[in-house]
Structure 1
């Protein structure tokens, strides 16, 4: 992953660096990001479906890496939300209809 350092720098710039829990979250996030992209490589190598042989039968089944990638993505999103970096919505200016 080529932008890992910039992501790490960004996250560390957004948190309280003296808070060990926040620093640990950054490390977990980066670790999960590594796993996410390793799964990506596996999916590209083997495809979204893998051939399974069972005695005389051969069949296709979903690559388990796809499901794992979805789980990792959910974990990444969860950590992102726990940082509390949500964008602050810009309040719209009142319209003439809102003044009545």
Structure 2
């Protein structure tokens, strides 16, 4: 779902005269943007990244993964605050082409 389409759908679910609700929608959209950027970072660098510390090299999980999880939780909480629990809103990146094998 494109950002503009998502905003339109979210705005139709709230009282647009209530500035607090409008602010929550804007925050929700900002979190979705960050979530999509985390997806792009993970796609670019992979689930594991190589770290160099002097002469040592080692792999560690991409920190964007844990940040993505935090963002997902924040999006869910804000969605509940906006009473979006019963809406069928899926946050995806139009360029996502992941499958289960990407996790191995």
Settle same-fold status: TM greater than 0.5: yes
Q: Which has the larger radius of gyration?
A: 1
C-alpha separation in 2, matches of 1:41 and 1:85: 26
Q: Which runs of 5+ in 2 are unaligned?
A: 87-104
TM-score, length basis structure 1: 0.82
Query: 2:4 aligns to what?
Result: 5
**CA–CA distance in structure 2, aligned partners of residues 4 and 50 of structure 1:** 29
1:74 to partner: Cα distance:
0.5
Q: Which residue of 1 aligns with 2:60?
A: 61
**Greater RCO (CA < 8 Å, at least 6 residues apart):** 2
TM-score by length of 2: 0.79
Aligned residues: 86
Q: CA deviation at 1:56?
A: 1.5
Moved over 2 A (4+): none
RMSD: 1.0
